[in-house]
Every structure is written in structure tokens, then in C-alpha cells.
Structure 1
């Protein structure tokens, strides 16, 4: 196993080799590398990793052979020669350091196995060619320490033997001080290339939300109106209930879920409003989303639904009336034709006699 100093030398090598060009970009973009390792014992560690550009999965770590699988065709081919290979080496050596630190603290401080360690590192890219590095480490599902970018130091989120040990290692080897510089270069150079070669188009795509309203009756005295909104992208969305055209304020009767992901990289949520059955009010669910522009989706319930149903019934009755009139005309037309044909045959018979 390579020592932390070896990993730092590789980071320095990457820093000097990395290169790229800059062109003005608009907006803020976030690159995140997520990592989870489950330590069963000192020799068996199960590791998983995921790379995200905003909410788009760039690739994942194969826990069986530690190779990186890319999901987006615009990530690798457009990078300068050798940049991806160096970045892949950086990730793998980070993983080695992670395992080294936690196995060392388990051995030196008698930390019991099994346990779970997690890490996140990344950067935000701004339009003025600046970027901000961020990183944190978690132990058994709780944040252990995080990087304070303002003071360029690691701060403890919980004070225990594991977190103090990891903090000491990071400070002694200045590991993430160097990683901060590396990630900033990645943001300014390689990330800008990835955005221009397809990342920006993927992030700026828009999918129109699909909304439906239905009701549930948990008791005879309560009616739950459910507005289900799905298939939208990007994530930000506004969903509100209107009572007689006025927005229902937040309260115990209104319950809106968090935005949840779908398998096709769209999102969904539900907004539930508790009302009294037959309370005489008109309700509608209003949806606002970037893909709709200045328009809104308005899905009615209550009196509006009754009016809609009445309109459908009236339209159906009108269609039946038209069909009946047409059938009556056809019947009279054919009756008249038969009478004319009968009279014609009678005239012919008289003439022959």
C-alpha cells in the first residue's frame, strides 16, 4: 500500500501536468465526487464511488476491479491528451489514502470493525473564472470533519478519536490543501471543456411536467386532494393549491413532499391538501416550471371539475342530437325514394294493360 506522501507526490505531478484553455461561461456549475467504503475488517473493504455534474451522473467506480465507468459520451474524448488518465489516477490514489487512514486509526485506536467511511470532494465553477473547493468526511453515517475554505483548514463536526485522527493526518500532510488546488484547476480547465462539449446542453435541457389531481377519502369527514407532478426537468419547481382562485397558505392541512428523482433523470413530487367533503369551494393545483415559460399548469378539482363534467355532458347530448337529426333525415329521404319508386312501377303496369 502506498504511503500518504506517495499519494501527495502524485497529486503534485498531476498539478504540474494539467493544462487547459478558458472561455467565458455563464452560470454556476458544481462537480462532486462521492465515495463510500465499508470496512468489514482490515483486509476487506467494499468501496463505491460516483461522479456528478450538478445532478447528472458522469460515471461510477466498479467496486470489483476499481475501474471507472463513464456514462456520458462527452466527458472523456474532448479532454486534452492524458488529462483523463491523470484524473483517474488521482481518484484511485485518493481511495488508497482513504483506506490507509481508516485502517490505521482502527489499528492504533482500537476502533471496532465493521464501520462505514464516506467522503465528498468537489468544486463550484463560477462565470468569472473563479472556483471554490469543498470537501468533507463522514464516519458511520455522520459528518466527521469538513474543509473550511475561508480559513483553509479542517474543522471537526464531531469530536471523537476517529475524527481527530483523520484531522491530524490531513493537517500534517497538507493533503487536501494540494487537492484544493488540483480541483480548482480541474474546474477552470477540464470542467469548462466538458461543459462546452455536451455538459451544458445536458444541464439546460427542459422537460415539461405532467400533473394529475385525484382524491382519497381516509374518513367520511375528510377528503385528501392529491396533486401528483412528474417527468419534469430541471429540479426547481413551484406547486401550489388554489382555493376559489386564492393560494392556500402553508399549514397543517397542506403537505408537499420533497422533490424525488425518477429513473430517467426527471423528477416528481406530490402535494396533498386536506379539505372537508362538499365544502362548497373550488380547488385547483397550480404548477410553475421553467419549461412552461410564463405559463402555468392549472388542474381543477371541486366546483371547477363539476363545471367541466357538465360541459362534457352537454357536448355529448349535443352530439347525440345531431346524430338523431341526421338519422331522421336519412330515414325520411329513403322513405320518399321508396314511394317514388312504387308510383313509377304502378304507372308502368297501367300502361302495359
Structure 2
């Protein structure tokens, strides 16, 4: 369900693109005599880390210089107190319920809450928890109701308590509807340059043959890395047509790099003797409206016993001369490796 945006903490224009602000909290419950929990937290705007917290009562750290803009030091202090109070209530109540249920300690509670703000003036919120990576309880701001994972005694006790405790629901409404939405709008405004950054990709095409089983299909690999933002389309073409999903096509999925860029690997199993032409097709916003096509078929005459049939790395410059030079070097490489 969508709601009108609450009045922001400052007068800011709405975001031009959807943005999601997520707050992730991990609570380690252990029996050390005092039966306390260790708490850490982090926050992200879309996929950009913005804040971190080392313990349930620690000050909030800012990962981005714009992550504290839009609020005065006093307002940030008030928000910290509200967050610390919410986490303390969660920790204390779960500890009591564990003792009542006789479940035993040494487990991890993970809390994910946040919101998505849209350019049309609406927002969506979410609040989910897990225990040891299993669904636990969740909260729906639109209905004000909790949902419980069936068959979990501790989850059932937490659900019953939260359903009756208006204080927890009040803190959640503040965190989700007031804090999250207003701050997400503020961060999207002050951090717009980071959110709109473009990182040019590097693409590599090569072929691999299993050395112990040369009778198996040849594996064509298209590896694209160093790109930002996330949205990208990578596909193998066979004779100019995109290869549809099937047992011979696999993908690594989107993977993060340490420098806040991404990588992706698409693998296609082929029979070189079939005589088809193959190329890797890449579409990404950093290419400035162009697409990249990297053909492999020029070297299809290589021996099937080569571990690497062809390797080509391209740092995209979008300059025609650079593209022509890469093609000439590629063609010469193929000619030097081709069988007589």
C-alpha cells in the first residue's frame, strides 16, 4: 500500500528516481551470565552504505559526507536516542520471552526495516525479522498488524507481545513513516551525485575446455566487471540471435566488487563443430546509449584442447579508433592461434 509522503524535515524536491533506504540490525543473543545481546547496525541508500552503528548504544557513524545533511546536531542526537530506545526494547523483551519459553540462548536476530520513496509522492515500507536466518515476525505499517512464522514457539510469543504492546508499534511507525521516509528523501537529494555516478565497464570474452574431458562442450565465458550502477543486460548471441535461457546457459548473477562496482559472468556451452557464430552483447548506462558486441566466432577454428581459446579485454572508451584497434588486435590474435 502507498501513502502520501510526510512533511519532510526540510523543503526538498521529490526524487527523480525510486530510492530504497534500508536499516539492517544484527543482534547476537548469548548466555554470559547476564544474558545480554551484542548489536550492530548499518544503513544503505539503494546500494550505497550511509551509516553504521557498532553497538546498541553507540553513536551513529557517517559513511558519506552528505549522510548528516538536512538535520542539526540536536536532531541527529534525538534520532539516535529514538533508535537506541527501540533496540533496547527489542533486546530486553526478547530476553524475557526466551527465558519464559525456555528456548535457550545463543542465537541471532536480524532486523530489516526501511522504505522505498517514489517520484510520484508515495512510499512503501517494510519491517522483517529473522532468527538464525529463518523467518521470524514481520510488521505491516499499512494494516498495523504483525505476521508470525508458524511452528516457532519464540516467534509466537514475540508476535503475541508485539500485537499487544502499542509502544513497539509506535516506535516502528516513527522509524518507518517519519524517520525513514523523510531521511531517504533528504539523502537522495544531498547524495544525488553519488547515486547518479557512472563507472565504465571492462568486458572479457574467452573459451574454456575441460582438460580431462575434451569431449565435453566448449564453455564460452563473457565476464563484465567494474560497472555502476547495477542495471545491466548481458547476453550471448548465436548467429545474431539472443540465446534463450536453457540448460546450456548459466549466470553468476550480480556480484559486488570491493570498490562499490559490480561484476557478472555469463557462461554458454557450445559445440564448435556446429559452425555457429557467437558474440557477447552488453548493454549498460555507462556506454552512453551504445551497446557492446564482442564476437568470439572469429576463432572458432582453434583446437578444442586449448584451455583458453580466446581472451579479449576491453576497457570501454566509446572511441571509434579504440574500437577499431581492438578489432584488429583481436583478428591478429585469432590468426596467430588458428590451426593450419
TM-score, normalization by structure 1: 0.77
Structure 1 residue 192 displacement after superposition? 2.4
Matched, 1:91 2:83: yes
Structure 1 window deviating more from structure 2 (78-87 vs 236-245): it is 78-87
Report if the CA contact (8 A) 1:280-1:303 is conserved: no
1:175-194 aligned within 5 A: 175-194=168-187
Residue 208 to residue 80, structure 1, CA distance change in 2 (3 Å): same
Q: Is the 8 A contact 1:132 1:184 kept in 2?
A: no
State which drifts further: 114-123 or 158-167: 158-167
Distance verdict in 2 for CA 1:78–1:177, change over 3 Å:
closer
Distance across 1 between alignment mates of 2:50 and 2:196: 16
Distance 1:158 1:293 in 2: 50
Q: How has the CA–CA distance of structure 1 residues 311 and 131 changed in structure 2, closer, same or farther, with 3 Å as cutoff?
A: closer
Matched, 1:256 2:276: no
Distance 1:122 1:268 in 2: 26
Q: Name the CA shift for 1:30/1:313 in 2 (closer, same or farther; >3 Å).
A: closer
**What secondary structure does 1:189 align onto?**
helix
Q: Assess if the C-alpha contact under 8 Å between 2:138 and 2:148 holds in 1.
A: yes
- For residue 82 of structure 1, give the secondary structure of its aligned residue in structure 2: helix
- Tell me, in whole angstroms, the C-alpha distance in 1 between the residues paired with 2:192 and 2:135: 31
Q: Distance in 1 between matches of 2:175 and 2:267?
A: 46
Counterpart secondary structure, 1:294: coil
C-alpha displacement of 1:67: 3.1
CA–CA separation in structure 1 for the residues paired with 2:218 and 2:294: 17
Aligned twin of 1:292: 287
* Structure-1 separation of matches of 2:181 and 2:267: 44
Q: Structure 1, unaligned stretches of length 5 or more?
A: 1-17, 317-353
Deviations 1:228-261 (A, max 9, x none): 1101111111110011111111110000111011
Q: Match for residue 316 of structure 2? A: none
Q: Does 1:230 align with 2:225?
A: yes
Cα displacement (A) at 1:267: 0.5
The answer to whether the aligner puts 1:38 opposite 2:28 as a matched pair is yes
CA contact (8 A) 1:131 1:187 kept: no
CA distance in 2, matches of 1:163, 1:311: 63
What is the rounded CA distance, in whole Å, between the counterparts of 1:313 and 1:101 in structure 2?
A: 67
Cα–Cα, structure 1 residues 157 and 117, in superposed 2: closer, same or farther, change >3 Å? same
Greater gyration radius? 1
Q: Which secondary structure does the structure 2 equivalent of 1:281 belong to?
A: coil
Question: Relative contact order, CA 8 A, sep 6+: which one is greater?
Answer: 2
In the alignment, is residue 241 of structure 1 matched against residue 233 of structure 2?
no
Tell me, yes or no, if the aligned pair for 1:143 and 1:158 is still in contact at 8 Å: no
| Deviation of the 1:123 alpha carbon | 1.4
Q: Is the alpha carbon distance of 1:309 and 1:43 closer, same or farther for their aligned partners in structure 2, counting shifts above 3 Å?
A: same
Gaps of 5+ in 2: 1-7, 302-326
Distance 1:94 1:247 in 2: 51
Distance 2:242 2:110 in 1: 42
1:75 aligned to 2:90? no
How many residues matched?
298
Shift, 1:130, TM fit: 2.9
Deviation, 1:36, is 0.9
Residues 205 and 222 in structure 2, CA contact (< 8 A), matched pair in contact too: yes
Structure with more of its chain in helix, by fraction: 1
